[in-house]
A and B are shown apart, each in its own frame.
Chain A
Amino acid sequence: MAKIIGGLGTSHVPSIGAALDKGLRDTPDWKPFFDGYEAGKEWVREAKPDIAVVVFNDHGNTFFLDRVPTFAVGVADSYNPVDEGWGPRAIPPFEGATEFAWHFVDKLVERHFDPLVCREIEVDHGMQVPMELFFGRPEKWPVKVVPIWVNTIQYPIPTPQRCWEMGKVLREAIESWPTDERVVVLGTGGLSHQLQGARAGFINQDADRAWLDGIAANPEHYRNMTREDYVEQFGSEGAELIMWLVMRAAMNEKVDLVHKHYYAPASMTGAGMVVLENAA
């Protein structure tokens, strides 16, 4: 059967991709941020995953408000970067793990989820940036992908508990997939930030640092928080962090926090990552 080799949590701030495009990696604003990801990239190189499941939200680039899926899953052969207003970015398309993605959709529906199933669709920075942070800028991505979109834009957004439940189904799908493929799960978004309202620019470094440790050691705490709690502690857009719960729930109850990194601000956001491995 296929195997979960690890869980990655990371921010997906669009400015990160723009900084790479503009060659700003080693400028004073960005170098400490990118340097902190080197350990994560090294972990991925050694872990050699075959499939990356990437949990993220669209930011008004692929989905408009005419139809807002709470959860969507990609079963496409390939995903191109979407034009977010600046022209398409010069990064390679992502090859879909089509057969596993369909298997995951089967499992979801068996377990009473009702995802939108996407056969032809583009992906925004929510997926691009995490892939670049952990896989660099290859000519061809070394993994196939399964995108999972979670609506975090228009309320009602799903509850943290629901994201957790989806992670449990993801694990079941991976462990019942009859190949020897190695799967890494990326939960993305956050950390604290707020783009709208008079509290714009809100960053909560204490809550962010507690999150990076707590998501490993005490996920129950975050699973039981309300959406209001997320908005209050992490800002209106920081509520994206609920998507890390999909990744965390797919892992063992006990995990090892192998790497972590925090930097603020990246653009207007508290930013960082974790690398988790299942503990015995």
Chain B
Amino acid sequence: MANQSIPDTPLFDRNGSIRGYRINKMAMSLGQAANREAFKADEEAYLDRFGLTEEEKKAVMSRDWHEMVRLGGNLFFILKISAIDPTPITRIGAAQAGMSHEDFLYHRLGKRAAHG
């Protein structure tokens, strides 16, 4: 399948998988409670254990969801980072779309209540 054939819709293909391997492997490890504790205790040291680049570390430590995906992070893995300091998936979606959370709920998901 050719990637980028559908606008604004990146498919997680071999390029993403290779590029995002370190971030995704680190995120996958957060499925274990002991690793979550180590992450919380010293986040940067934890990221160093997985060999993240400075760019990748910055994206993770600033919880920049758009940047993590740009660097090859796959949502399903990096959602485990969002469980560390609970972040609703709709906020992560809004960051992907480049919209405010409220606009995202209203315009993309059709949540009329969001605008009262």
Chain A bound to chain B: yes
CB < 8 Å: which of A83, A86, A201 contacts B32? A83
> Which of A155, A200, A203, A268 has the most C-beta atoms of chain B within 10 angstroms of its own C-beta?
A200
Beta-carbon contact of A228 and B76 below 8 Å: no
Cβ–Cβ contact A60 & B28, under 8 A? yes
Binds B, one of A39-47, A108-116, A191-199: A191-199
User: How far is A198 from B93 in the complex, measured between Cα atoms in Å?
Assistant: 9
Q: Which residues of B contact A155 (CB under 8 A)?
A: 1, 3, 11-14
Contact assessment for B90 and A268 in the assembled complex, using a CB-CB cutoff below 8 Å = yes
Asked if B36 is an interface residue, CB under 8 A from chain A, the answer is yes
Do A198 and B89 touch (CB < 8 A)?
no
A138 at interface (Cβ–Cβ under 8 A)? no
Within residues 94 to 144 of chain A, which ones have a CB less than 8 A from any CB in chain B? none
Q: List, in ascending order, chain B residues with CB within 8 A of A203's CB.
A: 108-110
- How many residues of chain A are within 8 Å of chain B by beta carbon? 37
Interface size on B, residues (CB 8 A): 46
Q: Which residue of A lies closest to B14 (CB)?
A: A155
Asked if B109 and A85 sit within 8 Å, CB to CB, the answer is no
* Chain B proximity mask over A65-98: 1 for CB below 8 Å, otherwise 0: 1100000000000000011111100000000000
**Residues of chain A with a CB closer than 8 A to B92's CB:** 195
Q: Across the interface, which residues of B come within 8 angstroms of A228, CB to CB?
A: 1, 5-6
In the complex, the answer to whether B9 meets A64 with C-beta atoms within 8 Å is no
Q: B residues bordering A, Cβ < 8 Å?
A: 1, 3, 5-14, 17, 21, 24-25, 27-28, 30-33, 36, 69, 74-77, 79-80, 82-84, 89-90, 92-94, 96-98, 104, 108-111
Q: Apart from A195-B96, A231-B9, list 7 A-B contacts with CB within 8 A.
A: A15-B89, A60-B79, A85-B84, A196-B74, A197-B10, A197-B96, A199-B6
A-B contact pairs, 28 of them (CB 8 A): A65-B24, A82-B31, A83-B33, A153-B12, A154-B12, A154-B14, A154-B74, A156-B13, A195-B92, A196-B9, A196-B12, A196-B69, A196-B74, A197-B96, A198-B8, A198-B96, A199-B8, A199-B9, A200-B94, A201-B93, A201-B97, A202-B108, A227-B1, A228-B6, A231-B11, A232-B9, A267-B90, A268-B89
